[in-house]
Amino acid sequence: MKIFTAHQIYEADKSTIKKEQIKSDELMERAATQLFEWIHSRLRGTQVNIQLFCGIGNNGGDGMVLARKLQEHGYSIKVYVVNYSDKRSKDFLLNLERLKENKVWPDFINKESDLPQISPNDIVVDAIFGIGLNRAPDAWVGNLIQHINGSRAFVLSVDVPSGLPVDRNPWNKEYVIQSSYVLSFQLPKLVFFLPETGVYVNQWEIVDIGLNPDFIAKTDADFELIGRPEVLPMYRPRLKFSHKGTYGHSVIIGGSYGKIGAVQLATNACLSVGSGLVTAFVPKCGYDSLQTAVPEVMVLTGSREKGISEIEIPFEPTVVGIGVGIGLDGDTVSAFGNFLKKVNSPMVIDADGLNILSQNPEMLTDVPGLSVLTPHPKELQRLIGNWTSDFDKLEKAKAFASKYNIVLVIKGAHTITIYKGKGYVNTTGNPGMATAGSGDVLTGMIAGLMAQGYPSVEAAIFGVYLHGLAGDLGVSSKGYEALKASSLIENIGSAYSELFRQPEMEQKDNTQ
Ligand SMILES: NC(=O)C1=CN([C@@H]2O[C@H](COP(=O)(O)OP(=O)(O)OC[C@H]3O[C@@H](n4cnc5c(N)ncnc54)[C@H](OP(=O)(O)O)[C@@H]3O)[C@@H](O)[C@H]2O)[C@@H](O)CC1
Ligand SMILES: [K+]
């Protein structure tokens, strides 16, 4: 699903109005009716107090329509207009009048007003600011926002949490609604998925308001949200008349004394995701344990006991995964540099492999094109330098990836894969995956997909999605705390199956 900027959403809005030859208030009515249906289908008339806080723009207009519909269906509502500007939008005013015709008179809140009481049992509808926010809210509006946040009521935000701009970080972090649930119109917003701004959104859901699908299809977006519909077309089915050679030969290079387990996890994941053959290259101390732990993997060793000091692979691998558990020993660093000079296969570089690159940036030009780098935030910072915000980080990451013609996988709660100026935001995974070895498994999985012929960027996007899905399946039986990296590997097969599982509704339809 595409992620649009505020400007692109306004354009989609305009093109819909033009194409359908409707008036803007009809689109507002349509949007707010969807909000109403969402609430009504859950509350089914329950007599809970609903307090609606509405601004004076179109986000507030949505709130006005919603208030009217709730009142018409017998809900107990209280409506406030947060009167932060004289420049009221035309559709806000129209719907304010319609509400008054229904004998609902909102209270106007301004600078001098007392803050209304909100009980923890109330439902707050937050329709103060939408995507039109373009500066910090005034202090008194900020105080109201803090008052709502402190109420412990369930807060349902219309389109976005008020105070959260969609294309940058907030001007004032305290003046942003902490949403329990966001009903966002048509397309998700990038801020929902970034570490600094995603914290304002507990849960979110898209409300389809029928914006012009042709416009959405033909407009390029800088970011895309990756769910099942996006990854399914990337899947490459196994062929009947194929053999192990069809699915590539991966080489995983890494490990050092005490860190051979990283290679064990990466090779095992590489096999489990479908690589035809997997060879590990480790220091001598890793030989016995690796042969025992993963018998399907072939093992090559270097000449030293505890660390890698030179890398010789006597064949051309389809893909090389390098860095897991490798350490930063001086000999290892020069072996890594020498290997980069002679290798032609695309690589997946992780962990200390990335740290070696950030300590020796001249090596970056030797990284084969279309390799995949998988940093967590600290490793990324060492590679691209400091950033001032998540938005700045993404710009710097894009420039870095383009400069070296690589795919950059920024790991996090929503891992973002960067390639050719675009970002692909992952939706699977959970906090249980913040555990030792989780990254080693991802390295093996991406390498294993590349071995099977997935283009690098697809291997990264698909691998990240499948890795997260394996984690989600693992959590359903183990819970967050007990999830280990090896459980992720055990669930790779189920994650593949899950990709093709029919939703229950569809299954029912098929049997009719
Ligand atoms: N797009 C769609 O498809 C549809 C959109 N819909 C809805 O419209 C919403 C966007 O509405 P909107 O453009 O009227 O902006 P909104 O967020 O209500 O702000 C109002 C105005 O406040 C101002 N302002 C800004 N910052 C300020 C500040 N700090 N303190 C004080 N004032 C400030 C600024 O005006 P300015 O003063 O800059 O001229 C701004 O215009 C969208 O989120 C969705 O809910 C749906 O109805 C249907 C389909
Ligand atoms: K809002």
> How is the beta sheet containing 201-207 ordered, strand by strand?
107-109, 76-82, 49-54, 123-127, 154-158, 179-185, 201-207
332 and 308 part of one domain: yes
- Element containing residue 113 per DSSP (H, E): none
Residue 470's contacts (CB-CB under 8 Å, 6 or more residues apart) are 488, 489, 491, 492, 494, 495
Specify the number of domains making up the chain: 2
User: Atom 34, ligand 1: which residue's CA is nearest?
Assistant: 132
Tell me whether residue 511 is in a domain. no
504: pLDDT confidence band, cut at 50, 70 and 90? low
CATH code of 20's domain: 3.40.50.10260
Three-state secondary structure readout of 76-127: EEEEEEECCCCCCCHHHHHHHHHHHHCCCCCEEECCCCCCCCCCCCCEEEEE
Question: Ligand 1 pocket: which of 5, 8, 129 to mutate (most atoms <8 Å of CB)?
Answer: 129
Tokens of 162: 């008020």
333 and 406 part of one domain: yes
Residue 109's contacts (CB-CB under 8 Å, 6 or more residues apart) are 53, 80, 81, 82, 83, 115, 116, 144
Whether pLDDT at 459 is above 60? yes
State the average pLDDT over residues 472-480: 95
- pLDDT value for 512: 37
Burial 362-376 (b: 16+ CB within 10 A, else e): ebbebbbebbbbbbb
- CA of 200, nearest ligand number: 2
Parallel, antiparallel or unpaired: strands 223-226 and 2-3: antiparallel
Tell me whether residue 378 is in a domain. yes
Tell me whether residue 405 is in a domain. yes
Q: For the segment 325-376, what is each residue's pLDDT rounded down to a tens digit?
A: 999 999 999 999 999 999 999 999 999 999 999 999 999 999 999 999 999 9
Question: Ligand 1 pocket: which of 26, 36, 134, 156 to mutate (most atoms <8 Å of CB)?
Answer: 134
Tell me whether residue 509 is in a domain. no
- pLDDT value for 505: 58
Q: For the segment 293-308, what is each residue's pLDDT rounded down to a tens digit?
A: 999 999 999 999 999 9
Domain range holding 175?
2-221
Instruction: Give the separation between CA 25 and CA 33, rounded to whole angstroms.
Output: 12
Tell me whether residue 244 is in a domain. yes
Q: For the segment 390-408, what is each residue's pLDDT rounded down to a tens digit?
A: 999 999 999 999 999 999 9
Per the annotation, binding residues for AMP are 411-415, 439
- pLDDT value for 105: 97
Q: Which of 221, 249, 275 is the endpoint of a domain?
A: 221
Least Cα distance to 319 among 174, 492, 456, 120 occurs for: 456
Atom nearest to 55 CA in ligand 1: 18
215 and 239 part of one domain: no
Query: Tokens 């795919």 correspond to what residue?
Result: 407
395 and 493 part of one domain: yes
Mean predicted lDDT score pLDDT of the chain: 96
User: Atom 8, ligand 1: which residue's CA is nearest?
Assistant: 58
- CA of 30, nearest ligand number: 1
Instruction: Give the separation between CA 190 and CA 416, rounded to whole angstroms.
Output: 11
- pLDDT value for 509: 47
State whether residue 102 is helix, strand or coil: coil
The Cα angle at residue 267 between residues 262 and 273, in degrees rounded to 5:
125
Q: For the segment 422-447, what is each residue's pLDDT rounded down to a tens digit?
A: 999 999 999 999 999 999 999 999 99
- pLDDT value for 503: 72
79 and 180 part of one domain: yes
367 and 426 part of one domain: yes
Ligand 1, CB within 6 Å, residue ranges: 9-10, 13, 27-28, 31, 55, 57-62, 84-85, 87, 89, 129-138, 158-159, 185, 209, 211
Q: Please tell me the pTM assigned to this model.
A: 0.95
Q: For the segment 134-187, what is each residue's pLDDT rounded down to a tens digit?
A: 999 999 999 999 999 999 999 999 999 999 999 999 999 999 999 999 999 999
Compute, in angstroms, the gap from residue 188 CA to the centroid of ligand 2: 14
- CA of 35, nearest ligand number: 1
Q: For the segment 181-218, what is each residue's pLDDT rounded down to a tens digit?
A: 999 999 999 999 999 999 999 999 999 999 999 999 99
User: Are the C-beta atoms of residues 454 and 234 closer than 8 Å to each other?
Assistant: yes
404 and 492 part of one domain: yes
Compute, in angstroms, the gap from residue 224 CA to the centroid of ligand 2: 23
261 and 361 part of one domain: yes
- CA of 27, nearest ligand number: 1
133 and 217 part of one domain: yes
Residue 325's contacts (CB-CB under 8 Å, 6 or more residues apart) are 254, 255, 256, 259, 260, 261, 262, 263, 351, 352, 440
User: Could you tell me how far CA 471 lies from the centroid of its own chain?
Assistant: 15
141 and 213 part of one domain: yes
Instruction: Give the separation between CA 386 and CA 369, rounded to whole angstroms.
Output: 25
User: Atom 29, ligand 1: which residue's CA is nearest?
Assistant: 137
Instruction: Give the separation between CA 370 and CA 455, rounded to whole angstroms.
Output: 9
280 and 344 part of one domain: yes
User: Atom 24, ligand 1: which residue's CA is nearest?
Assistant: 133
- pLDDT value for 257: 97
404 and 455 part of one domain: yes
Instruction: Give the separation between CA 227 and CA 466, rounded to whole angstroms.
Output: 10
Compute, in angstroms, the gap from residue 271 CA to the centroid of ligand 2: 47
